[in-house]
């Protein structure tokens, strides 16, 4: 789709994930931002060298996550790491502040020049391991307008590690995220990090909102990437590129190269 080509330079794109180590204020914070930044830059360079089309930073190491505002330490830490990554690589950069802090993601994106953000609960509400999370599309989109106009908002639909509240179908949730919430693109995931997403759900979302790009956001492997990228407009892939295929680890250059190569056959 046009938005994908304008942002990533290709009609279909492969976005790699950098899972940041624990940041200040999180239970696992180790006390060294230099260590956090050095790992993030190394991971980002490995993804760029492998041939990925974009990179998204997540504060994955901050678990257990806050339900709302991620905290001053997370925002400052992600901005610090994000600025260094933006200086180190030329790929379009995205920000995802877990668990679903869209407003902080917009602020960080504005500070580091990121091109897109991911919001896990943009509209509606969901029961999660953090409790009930409510979307706040209005506040997020007002911040986009005020802080960084043109920022793309990627919104999850029936996001992983969550159960949607209020009933309704995945088609209606997708339509609401784009047509009422202002999302630029949608993301379909499995039930958990690393769990495969349903291609049936992907097709349902694409049919319901044909004007929006739809990404697969979990569970993609080197064995499935060609098939999935043939159906989706893009892929966000994390665990499969990391050491041992485990989320939260450093990017494995050989894994990243193999995945990027397999994606080009789609």
The whole-angstrom separation of Cα 215 and Cα 262 is 17
The whole-angstrom separation of Cα 86 and Cα 36 is 15
pLDDT > 90? residue 149: yes
Q: What is the pLDDT of residues 113-129, one digit of tens each?
A: 999 999 999 999 999 99
Task: State the pairing for strand pair 13-19/54-58.
Answer: parallel
The whole-angstrom separation of Cα 190 and Cα 184 is 21
Q: What is the pLDDT of residues 48-97, one digit of tens each?
A: 999 999 999 999 999 999 999 999 999 999 999 999 999 999 999 999 99
Tell me what percent of the residues of the chain surpass a pLDDT of 70. 99
Band the pLDDT of 266: cuts 50, 70, 90.
low
Q: Across the chain, what does the average pLDDT equal?
A: 96
Model confidence pTM above 0.85 = yes
Segment 205-225 shows an average pLDDT of 95
For 133-136, which contacts have Cβ atoms below 8 Å and span 24 or more sequence positions?
Answer: 133/67, 133/68, 133/99, 133/100, 133/162, 135/100, 135/181, 136/102, 136/103
The whole-angstrom separation of Cα 73 and Cα 101 is 13
Per-residue pLDDT at 98: 98
Q: What is the pLDDT of residues 9-59, one digit of tens each?
A: 999 999 999 999 999 999 999 999 999 999 999 999 999 999 999 999 999
Paired tokens of 252: 């494995």
Q: What is the pLDDT of residues 151-168, one digit of tens each?
A: 999 999 999 999 999 889
Given a contact cutoff of 8 angstroms between Cβ atoms, the answer to whether 24 and 76 are in contact is yes
Segment 250-259 shows an average pLDDT of 97
- Which architecture characterizes domain 2-263 according to CATH? Alpha-Beta Barrel (3.20)
Domain ranges of the chain: 2-263
Q: If you ran DSSP here, which 8-state letter would residue 139 be given?
A: H
């Amino acid at each position: 789709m046009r938005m994908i080509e304008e942002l990533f330079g290709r009609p279909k794109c492969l976005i790699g994930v950098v899972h940041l180590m624990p940041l200040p204020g999180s239970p696992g914070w180790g006390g060294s931002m230099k260590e956090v930044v050095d790992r993030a830059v190394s991971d980002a360079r490995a993804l760029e060298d492998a041939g990925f089309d974009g990179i998204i930073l997540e504060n994955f190491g901050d678990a257990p996550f806050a339900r709302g505002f991620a905290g001053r330490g997370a925002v400052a830490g992600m901005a610090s790491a994000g600025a260094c990554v933006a200086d180190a690589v030329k790929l379009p950069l995205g920000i995802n502040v877990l668990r679903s802090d869209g407003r902080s993601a917009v602020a960080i994106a504005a500070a580091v020049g990121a091109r897109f953000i991911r919001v896990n609960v943009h509209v509606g509400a969901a029961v999660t391991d953090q409790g009930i999370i409510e979307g706040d599309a209005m506040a997020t989109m007002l911040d986009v307008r005020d802080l960084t106009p043109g920022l793309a908002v990627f919104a999850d639909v029936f996001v992983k590690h969550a159960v949607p509240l209020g009933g309704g179908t995945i088609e209606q949730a997708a339509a609401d995220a784009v047509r009422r919430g202002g999302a630029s693109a949608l993301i379909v995931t499995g039930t958990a990090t690393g769990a495969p997403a349903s291609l049936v759900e992907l097709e349902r979302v694409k049919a319901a909102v044909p004007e929006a790009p739809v990404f697969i956001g979990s569970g993609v492997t080197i064995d499935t990437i060609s098939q999935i990228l043939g159906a989706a407009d893009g892929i966000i892939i994390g665990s499969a590129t990391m050491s041992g295929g485990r989320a939260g680890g450093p990017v494995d250059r050989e894994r990243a190269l193999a995945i990027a190569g397999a994606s080009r056959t789609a």
